[in-house]
Each structure stands twice: as structure tokens, then as C-alpha cells.
Amino acid sequence: DNDGLMGITSNPAIFEKAITGSMDYDESIEKLALENRAALEIYETLAIEDIQLAADAMQPVYRRSGGRDGFVSLEVSPLLADDTAGTIEEARRLWEDVHRENVMIKVPATKAGIPAVQTLISEGMNVNVTLMFSRSVYETVAGAYIAGLEILAENGGDISTVNSVASFFIS
């Protein structure tokens, strides 16, 4: 409330440090392992629970800002960076599993990721586009974002509820 925190991001490396660097997750991991859950399923269960808690904690910021701040980002698997259909499928699943209006699904700005961004935006999902290292990629992502909003509007969706950020790196 007093620190000026306006959003939260995550990625597998952040979760790895949190899980391996503390005993906070040990009880949950043990419980899930006893249920014969696979390692990936255990990771996703823990990550989704953390993202839900973070999104709930950021909900007051989201409300105060009229839905412009207070987002929490969760990324699709980096293994899907070259798989448009897989990225879309995983993003939809994560969006449904987290089920919070102030969540953004992180999608890389790869050749496969950019059409996924357009599709997800057209479905009303909040998207955090990552791994942009040139102006031309940024412009392509912006075009995908606008095209996604146009499709959403054409289908009767409310574009005012869709948010997106694009992380552009210039060296």
C-alpha cells in the first residue's frame, strides 16, 4: 500500500529461485508429489497459486487505477517460443486457470509468438509481450495488438478491458 508497487512479473527462473531458495514450498511439493504429480504439474500448480495470490494482493491497485496498473504477469513456457498453436493453447489454459482480471500472459515476440499475441488480444486476454530487441519487431507487435483489438471489437468485445505491455530492449 505504501511502497508504490504498481505491478508484478514472474518467470520460470524467478520461481526456481523462490522454490529452491526457501522452504516455503516444501509442504506443498511433498503433498503434490504424494499425489503422484509430475514435476511440471507441481511447478504449474505452485506458480498458478502464487500468481493468484499476487493478483489478489494487487487488486486494490488495479481498481484504483481504473484497470491501468496492478497487473501480475505469468509467462507461457519458453519451450513454446517457436510454436504458435502451442503458445495460444497454453496461454488460454493459464488465463483460465489463474482466472483473475488483472493477470497478463507473457508471450515472446518471436515469429511464432506474434500471431499468438494477435489471437489472444482478439479473445480479450491481457498480454505482456517480451523479447523485443528491434524497432521493426516492436512495430510488428504493435500491428498484431491493433489487429487483435479490431477483431475483438468486430466480434462485439469490449476493447476497453484489454491491456497489454511490450517490453522493448535497446542496447
Catalytic positions: 106
Which residue bears the cell 504439474? Answer: 41
Best CA proximity match to 127, nearest among 143, 140, 100, 108 = 108
Instruction: Decide if 113 contacts 84 (C-beta within 8 A).
Output: yes
3-state DSSP assignment of residue 133: coil
- Specify the length of the chain in residues: 171
Instruction: Decide if 18 contacts 26 (C-beta within 8 A).
Output: no
How many beta carbons lie within 10 A of that of residue 6, not counting itself? Answer: 13
Instruction: Decide if 84 contacts 51 (C-beta within 8 A).
Output: no
Instruction: Decide if 78 contacts 12 (C-beta within 8 A).
Output: yes
